[in-house]
């Protein structure tokens, strides 16, 4: 969450930036997110994002610069250099219309797949750090062990996590060949720009970097494997990714040898976060959260394809 001083200061900054971009600004402000890892404020067509307090300045600057050069794939920043506000790094972006969460039938799976395929095929335009997906998953499991070590669902999640190769747990170098990856792909990372009917673009560059492209397919693959994503939506996504030449999986045949380890890692990460939130709220796991834990329970008994680093 924000400090008492950060949110009003961020609102003032985004208002000033919006007015500089559009002198006849149709004023209107809204807080789009206020989490420990990000505070996002919109004023008309301008968005300001205060990144996590522990964000690496050099790494974030490289990621923002890369986003500015990935035209047609990532939402371009309004400025390439992050600024510091009350001890937090802040970046500025144009507003894009998000996916309508109330209309599952309108989920842009083909657009998401096409953007990922283009990203994965793109030569790295500027130096960028390693993709942060495995490190982010490791932090979710660490938080679970810190906050709910004795929860009855914790043990199967930790067992599933411990059975993964070291690279998937952020404890060893990621296997090659490395490509340019988003690092945290889900439908909330797509917007239409210009709003409301422009082309779809990817947002959120906090985890952008080099790594195995299969990681970017891992969340929808995990949802499908857990029964949370209908088969037709998964096949739409996978078929579109292959049709666009995405390199993360073979062009035909079984995709799971490439996807299995990342999908297991994302399942453990999502389950860990769900248990930690349920424990903090002192409530039982809901049906979706139980399905994630059940999937983790099954994981150690199934073979993990590929080398165990």
* Structure confidence by residue, pLDDT tens digits, 220-242: 999 999 999 999 999 999 999 99
76 and 182 in a single domain? The answer is no
Per the model's pLDDT, the better-predicted residue between 79 and 266 turns out to be 266
In a domain, 228, yes or no: yes
Boundary-marking domain end, from 95, 114, 145: 95
* Look-up of token digits 């080099």: 210
What are residue 47's DSSP bridge partners?
42, 93
Of residues 92, 297, 131, the one with CA closest to residue 212: 131
Instruction: Kindly state the percentage of the chain with pLDDT values over 90.
Output: 81
Task: Say if CB 181 and CB 214 are below 8 A apart.
Answer: no
Return d(Cα 23, Cα 192) in angstroms, integer: 23
Predicted confidence at residue 303, as pLDDT, reads 57
What are residue 93's DSSP bridge partners?
47
87 and 166 in a single domain? The answer is no
In a domain, 306, yes or no: no
Return d(Cα 306, Cα 26) in angstroms, integer: 55
User: Mean pLDDT in the chain?
Assistant: 92
Boundary-marking domain end, from 38, 66, 95: 95
Q: pLDDT, tens digit, for every residue of 106-139?
A: 899 999 999 999 999 999 988 999 999 999 999 9
129 and 246 in a single domain? The answer is yes
Q: What is the mean pLDDT of residues 244-259?
A: 97
Q: Which DSSP letter does residue 217 get?
A: G
Q: pLDDT, tens digit, for every residue of 17-62?
A: 888 887 767 777 799 999 888 999 999 999 999 999 999 999 999 9
CATH of the domain at 12: 3.30.200.20
pTM, whole model, 2 decimals? 0.92
Task: Write out the residue range of the structural domain in which residue 63 sits.
Answer: 6-95
Structural domains counted in the chain:
2
Boundary-marking domain end, from 95, 115, 150: 95
């Amino acid at each position: 969450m924000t400090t008492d001083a950060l949110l009003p200061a961020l609102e003032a900054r985004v208002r000033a930036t919006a007015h500089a971009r559009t002198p006849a600004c149709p004023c209107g402000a809204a807080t789009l997110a206020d989490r420990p890892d990000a505070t996002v404020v919109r004023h008309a067509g301008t968005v300001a994002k205060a990144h996590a307090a522990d964000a690496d300045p050099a790494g974030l600057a490289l990621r923002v610069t890369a986003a500015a050069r990935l035209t047609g794939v990532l939402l371009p920043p309004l400025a390439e250099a992050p600024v510091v506000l009350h001890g937090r790094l802040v970046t500025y972006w144009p507003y894009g219309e998000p996916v309508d969460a109330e209309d599952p039938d309108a989920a842009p799976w083909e657009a998401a797949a096409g953007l990922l395929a283009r990203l994965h095929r793109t030569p790295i335009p500027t130096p960028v750090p390693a993709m942060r997906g495995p490190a982010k998953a490791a932090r979710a499991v660490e938080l679970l062990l810190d906050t709910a070590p004795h929860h009855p669902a914790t043990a199967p999640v930790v067992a599933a996590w411990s059975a993964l190769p070291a690279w998937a747990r952020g404890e060893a170098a990621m296997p090659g060949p490395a490509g340019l990856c988003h690092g945290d792909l889900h439908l909330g990372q797509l917007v239409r720009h210009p709003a409301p009917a422009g082309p779809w673009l990817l947002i959120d560059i906090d985890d952008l970097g080099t790594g195995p492209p299969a990681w970017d397919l891992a969340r929808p693959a995990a949802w499908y494997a857990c029964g949370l994503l209908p088969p037709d939506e998964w096949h739409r996504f996978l078929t579109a990714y292959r049709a666009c030449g995405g390199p993360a999986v073979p062009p035909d045949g079984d995709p799971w040898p490439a996807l299995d380890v990342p999908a297991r890692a994302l399942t453990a990460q999502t389950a860990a976060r769900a248990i930690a939130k349920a424990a903090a709220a002192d409530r039982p796991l809901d049906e979706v959260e139980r399905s994630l834990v059940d999937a983790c329970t099954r994981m150690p008994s199934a073979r993990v394809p590929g080398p165990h680093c």
